[in-house]
Chain A
Amino acid sequence: MQLIFILEQVVNGLVLGGYYLLIALGLSLIFSVGGVVNLSHGAFYALGAYVSVEISRVLGFVPAIVLSPVAVGLIGVLFDRFILRRFYTADPILSLLVTFGLAMVAEQLIRIIWGAAPIPASLPAALKGAVIVGDFLFSQYRLLLLAVVAAVLAGIWYLLQRTAFGCVVRAGIQQPDMVAALGIRLQPYMTAVVVLGVGMAALGGALVAPITTVHPAMGAEIMTVAFVVVVIGGLGSFWGVVLAALLVGVVRGLTIHFVSSAGEASMYVLMFLVLLLRPRGLLGERIEKLEK
Chain B
Amino acid sequence: MSKIRPDSAPQNRPLSRRSALKIGAGAAAVSAIGFPAVLRAQSEAIRIGHLTPMTGFLGTLGEWAVMGIQMAAEEINAAGGVMGRPLEVKSEDSINPDTASTKAQRMLERDGMEVLMGEISSASALAISQVALRNKRLFMALGPRSDTLRGKSCNRYMFCTDIPNTVMVNAVGTALLRDNMVTGKKFATLTADYVFGHDLLRAAKTFFDAHGAQHVSDELIATDVTDFSPYLLKVRQAQPDIVCLNLAGNQVTNFVKQYAEFGLPWPTVGFNLNTADAWAAGEGNLSGTWPTVWHHSLDTPASKAFVADFQDKHGKVPENHAWIEYIALKLLAQAMEETKSTDTEKLVDFFEKGAKFDILKGREAYFRAWDHQLIQEAYPFTVKAPGEAKSQWDILDLGPAVPAADQPLEVIYPSREQNPCSL
Contacts and interface: CB of A to CB of B under 8 A. Distances in A.
Contact of B193 (A120, A140, A253, A261): A261
Given A117-B276, A120-B281, A139-B262, A211 B230 contact: no
A218 B257 CA distance: 15
Contacts of A128: 260-261, 263, 284
A142 B258 CA distance: 10
B229 interface: yes
A221 B193 CA distance: 18
A8 B233 contact: yes
Given A12-B233, A118-B253, A123-B260, A260 B224 contact: no
Contacts of A281: none
A117 B220 CA distance: 25
Interface residues of A, number: 44
A260 B220 contact: yes
Q: Which of A9, A13, A120, A129 has the most CB of B within 10 A?
A: A120
A130 B264 contact: yes
A120 B282 contact: yes
B230 A256 contact: yes
Nearest to A138: B262
B422 interface: no
Contacts of B260: 122-123, 128
A210 B257 contact: yes
B401 to A, nearest CB: 27
A123 B63 contact: no
Interface in A244-258: 252-253, 256-257
A212 B228 CA distance: 9
A167 interface: no
A142 B261 CA distance: 9
Given A116-B60, A264-B225, A211 B284 contact: no
Interface in A1-40: 5, 8-9, 12-13, 15-16
Interface in B124-175: none
Interface in B38-73: 54-56, 59-60, 62-64
A153 to B, nearest CB: 20
Interface string A185-218: 0000000000000000000000000111111011
Interface string B201-226: 00000000000000000011110111
A4 to B, nearest CB: 9
Given A118-B280, A122-B284, A130-B263, A13 B221 contact: no
Nearest to A116: B63
B364 to A, nearest CB: 31
Given A118-B253, A122-B284, A212 B229 contact: no
Given A128-B260, A217-B59, A139 B229 contact: yes
B122 interface: no
A252 B220 CA distance: 14
Contacts, number: 124
B285 interface: yes
A248 to B, nearest CB: 11
Contacts of B261: 123, 128, 139, 141-142, 210-211
B226 A120 contact: no
B19 interface: no
A263 interface: yes
Contacts of B282: 120-122, 210
B231 interface: yes
Nearest to A222: B226
A137 interface: yes
Nearest to B229: A12
A147 interface: no
A115 B59 CA distance: 11
B63 A211 contact: no
A276 interface: no
A222 B226 CA distance: 9
Interface in B245-303: 250, 253-254, 257-258, 260-264, 276, 279-285
A78 interface: no
Nearest to B226: A212
B236 interface: yes
B234 interface: yes
Given A120-B282, A217-B59, A257 B230 contact: yes
B181 to A, nearest CB: 23
A125 interface: yes
A94 interface: no
B229 A16 contact: yes
B54 A264 contact: no
A119 interface: yes
Given A116-B54, A123-B260, A123-B261, A260 B219 contact: yes
Interface string A101-139: 000000000000001111111110100111000000101
A5 B233 contact: yes
Contacts of B226: 212-213, 218, 221-222
Contact of A137 (B219, B233, B250, B258): B233
Contacts of B219: 256, 260
Given A5-B237, A16-B227, A117 B279 contact: yes
A103 B260 CA distance: 31
Contacts of A15: 229
B392 interface: yes
28 contacts: A8-B233, A9-B233, A12-B233, A116-B63, A118-B250, A118-B280, A121-B282, A129-B262, A137-B236, A139-B229, A139-B261, A141-B261, A142-B229, A210-B257, A211-B257, A212-B257, A213-B226, A215-B59, A215-B250, A217-B56, A222-B226, A253-B229, A257-B230, A260-B220, A260-B234, A261-B221, A263-B230, A264-B225
- 7 interchain residue pairs of minimum CB distance: A118-B280, A122-B282, A129-B263, A261-B220, A120-B282, A256-B230, A116-B63
Interface of B: 54-56, 59-60, 62-64, 193, 219-222, 224-227, 229-231, 233-234, 236-237, 250, 253-254, 257-258, 260-264, 276, 279-285, 392
Given A139-B229, A215-B59, A263-B230, 4 more contacts: A9-B230, A16-B227, A118-B276, A260-B220
